Each structure stands twice: as C-alpha cells, then as structure tokens.
Amino acid sequence: KELKRGEIPTVEHVQDVVEKVLIEDGHAKTAKAYILYRKQHQDMREIGGLLKDIDVVDDYLSMLDWKVSENSNMAYSLQGLNVYATESIISHYWLNKIYPPEIGEAHTKGEYHIHDLGTLGAYTYFGKESIIVKNRDTLLLTSFQKLYETLEDEEILLSKTDDAYAKYPIGLEVLDVNGWTPIQRVVKKAKRKSMRFLKNESGRSVIVTEDHPMVMGTELFKKAREVRKDDDKLFTADLKNLLKNEQLFFKEHLFIAQELYDKGLRDFWIEGMPLEEYETYSHDMKINGIVSTSNNADALPNKIPLTKNLGYFIGFYLAEGWMEPHRICIKQKDSNENQEIIHRITQAANELGCRVYTKKDEGYITARIANSTLVEYLFKFIFNAEGISKEKCLPFEILTYNIQFIEGLIAGILDGDGSLTTSKTTLSIRTSSRTMLEQLAIVWCRYNTDIPRKTNHSAIPTFRCRFQDNV
C-alpha cells in the first residue's frame, strides 16, 4: 500500500513487510532474530562503506574538512591523519548507533554541533544501581544486574576480550529524566575502568565509570571524574512528576499461580494437580484454591492479601533473616522488644497457613517458618528475597503494592537495620545491599510519608532519614 503505482519494491521494502508479518502473527522469537539479522548486516554495510570512502583521507590532506582544525591537541601530520580517520569512523558510530536518529540528523544538517564525537567512551553503571523500568507494561524497581538476569531474551556474545554480552528485549522501557525511553539492548560486561561514587545533598548516590556523563542541569554534563564536591551540583530527577501518570500502590492481593505463570514458571501444583493437568480443566489462575511445589509439599493459599503484617515479615527478613532449604529463619537476642517482633512475624506466617517453630537458647530466640512453597515461590520468585545479605533487594514490583504493605515492609527493615539518633530527628538504615539501599531511597522519595517509629511504629513529627552502605 505504501508503493506508488508501477513502483518496484526494494529489498528494504520486502524486509519491512516480512518483519511486520512476523510480529503481527505472534512469532516474537523469530521476529527478534530477523530484526537482529537485519541490524547486523546494516552495520556491516555502513562500516564497510565508510572504510572504503577514500574521501576521508583526501579531505584531510586537502584540509577541506573543518574537523581537521577542531582537534586543538593534534597538529597537521601523518599521526594527525591516523587520528582523523579513526575519529571519522567513531563519529559515524555515535551519530548512527548511539544518538537517536533525530539528533544525528540535526547534527549532520548543521542545526547544532555535538563536540568531541571522535571519542568513543563506553561508560557504564555499576550493576547494583537501581532503575525503574517497564517490561511489557509491568512497572519494576530493580537493578541493572537483576534486570539483565531476569530478561528471558537470548544472550549474545559481543566481545570475548571485554567479557561483554547483550540481550535485545522487546517492550522494555527505562525511566530517565525525560520520561520513558525504549531500550533496544541491555549489555553486561566485566569492569575494566575505575568507578566513581557520587552523592548529592538529598542523599541520593550513584556508582558509575569515571567517564560517565553526569547531568548537572539542562543540557549540561560533566564526566564523573571531573565533578567536584563543593563546586558542582548534580541534577536529581523529579520522580513524583515523572511517575504522575502511572498507577502506583494499588495492589491489595496477589494470586501465586498467576504470578508464577506470568514469570514463565510452569513447575508448580494448583488444587492438588500439576499445572498441565489443571489446565485440562481450567486456565483460570485467579482462584481461591491452593498452590504447592508438589503433591506432598505444604501448600499456600493461591490468593495472598498484601497486608501490613506480611510486609513487616518480608521487611524484617530482608534485614535480619536467612533462607534454608524449605524454611525461613530469624534469630534475635531474647528481649521483650525482640519477643514482640517474633510474635508479629509468627502472626504473619500463621495468616499464610505456615507453621512456626521457636526456641530459646543461650540468650537468643530463634524462629523457623517451615514451608517449601513459601520459600520457593513467594520469597524467591515473587518477592525476589533470595540471596545473601549483599544480594537482597526489595520486591521488584514494590511500587505497585498497596501503602499498608509498604509501611509494614519499611517498619520491618527499620526494626532490623534501623537506628534512631539521640536527638530523635534522624533515622539511619545500615545495610550491605547497595541495591536495597537505593530502592528504599526511591520508594521513600515517591511515597514521602511519615516514617514509623521503631517497635511501636508511630509517626515521628520531624525527621531526616539517612541510608548508609554497611561496608
């Protein structure tokens, strides 16, 4: 329909049609492979054409290109010719592969000039840094590392030397200073450069490679290594404004079977039947039944209310608990305050139908919550609570859970890792998990509510909150 009468379709036209049909007919995996194939061959054609273009050398020798004199650090020489040819290729890469098409086109037309395009700096974030993304319209607060690990797309080797791999997701967007930005590729690589830790006055911090461009203001950037403590101010995005059109803090309950199914898991039992057998009777995953890891395992209700008690259970586990096969464990000094905490955790576990065993030994009280379904499904796959202390993080979908659950979760973390200063105006949370630290800061910034006081969880009239790495 896009061709004029009598016009012969080009190879690109035919490939566009093939790509469109593959996507519309639901062949997502094949479509992704085809798109990647087209992109790789386009790259090879463009780079090959650039390398064969002898005008690059002629322009330098004739000094016809203004870019010959742009580099004030390189004199007109044979070495200068080599640098000039290299920068021409890198500049082409920036304009066609990194910057959005409209920016590259504007620079080429002379509408504005982008300086230093000849320098290719592959700057990156530390893997533990937190980001807000939409993956197929599901809002997630996760880390770069966790995002890469949870993407189900095929992993492709980019460079053996850099130990670099990439995934090409469909329907992934990341929230940045200008709103939602579509992501075509997510890369993980070995750390080859020095990293810099930067923190602004509001307490938000970030770890990036030293050449990472830091936003200082509107269209104002500085490399991380050039930012000075007393002279520069880092720009902080307005999360409330950026998320104002998103549905937040609304989920009142979860259906375990539906959550597992949406995450690609099929190895579970529902209503005493393996999933495959259950699906011969019904495809409804949102039922008031039971879910388990096997026919002989302890079951959980399929419908789980996101209560304040459950939030507290998750929060205190993140601060003080550990995971063993088939059970969750928490150990505290035997005091009246900690007995109250164990009682609240026991209450939350009982609400889920889990057995809790407690014992006192040598001045300590230990609680064990035994339920393999709780451990394998609710904690690991749904609440993302698996791992050692440095790997722990908030549930990725925390921004969609209701306020009562979030208040309970924050209270649990405070009771485990929090402390109140003698002035009673500052709450500190110390944790060895970089990701959870930044997730808490983001939730706090967006939620912006009074912080519950330790143990009795009443509101503190005036306060400051300090998040600290326990390293």
Q: One digit per residue, pLDDT tens: the chain, 471 residues?
A: 566 777 788 887 888 888 888 888 888 788 878 887 777 677 656 555 554 454 555 554 455 444 444 444 444 454 555 555 666 666 766 666 555 566 667 666 666 555 555 555 556 888 999 999 999 889 999 999 999 999 989 999 988 887 889 999 989 999 988 899 988 889 898 877 889 998 877 667 888 988 887 877 766 778 888 888 888 887 777 888 899 999 999 999 999 999 999 988 999 999 999 999 999 999 999 999 999 999 888 999 999 999 999 999 999 999 999 999 889 999 999 999 999 999 999 999 999 999 999 999 999 999 999 998 989 899 999 999 988 888 999 999 999 999 999 999 999 999 999 887 777 777 788 888 999 988 998 898 777 543 333 333 333 333 345 555 544
**According to the CATH classification, is domain 130-242 in 2.170.16.10?**
yes
Distance CA 347, CA 313 (A): 9
* Other CB atoms within 10 A of residue 199 CB: 12
State the pLDDT at residue 257: 97
Cα atoms in the 13 Å half-sphere on the side-chain side of 177: 11
> Would you state the structure tokens that stand for residue 342, as one six-digit string?
């164990």
370 bridge partner residues? 327, 355
Architecture of domain 255-469: Roll (3.10)
Bridge partners, residue 31, by sequence: none
Q: Looking at residue 460, what is its pLDDT?
A: 32
18-39 core/surface letters (b: 16 or more CB in 10 A; e: else): eeeebbeeeeeeebbebbeeee
CB 141 within 8 A of CB 443: yes
Residue 430 has phi, psi (to 5 degrees) of: -105, 130
Say what the alpha-carbon torsion angle 195, 199, 205, 208 is, to the nearest 10 degrees: -20
Domain boundaries of the chain, sorted by first residue: 11-109, 130-242, 255-469
DSSP letters of 134-153?
A: EETTEEEEEEHHHHHHH--S
Could you count the other beta carbons within 10 Å of the beta carbon of residue 312?
27
Distance of CA 133 to the CA centre of its chain: 6
Nearest to 34 by CA among 24, 22, 26, 43: 22
CA-to-CA distance for 18 and 330, rounded, in angstroms? 56
Contact between residue 134 and residue 147 where contact means Cβ atoms under 8 Å apart: no
| CA atoms of 313 and 299, how far apart (whole Å) | 18
Q: Which of 164, 218, 165, 170 is nearest to 192 (CA)?
A: 164
Nearest to 385 by CA among 303, 314, 463: 314
Whether the CB-CB separation of 266 and 296 falls below 8 Å is answered with: no
Q: Is the pTM of this model over 0.95?
A: no
Inter-residue contact 110 to 95 (CB < 8 Å): no
Of the candidates 387, 422, 383, the one whose C-alpha atom is nearest the C-alpha of residue 405 is: 383
The answer to whether the beta carbons of residues 309 and 351 sit under 8 Å apart is: yes
Cα–Cα dist 386/287, whole Å: 27
DSSP-H helix ranges across 94-188? 101-109, 144-150
SS3 287: coil
| Residue 462 token pair | 């005036």
CA distances from 357 to 287, 296, 301, 336, 364 (A): 30, 20, 20, 18, 14
What is the Cα–Cα distance from 371 to 315, expressed in whole angstroms?
18
Instruction: Answer yes or no: are the C-beta atoms of 392 and 276 closer than 8 Å.
Output: no
Q: What span, in angstroms and rounded, lies between the C-alpha atoms of 322 and 330?
A: 7
Q: What is the C-alpha to C-alpha distance for residues 187 and 209, in angstroms, rounded to an integer?
A: 15
- Region at 69 (left for phi over 0; alpha for psi -120 to 50; beta for the rest): alpha
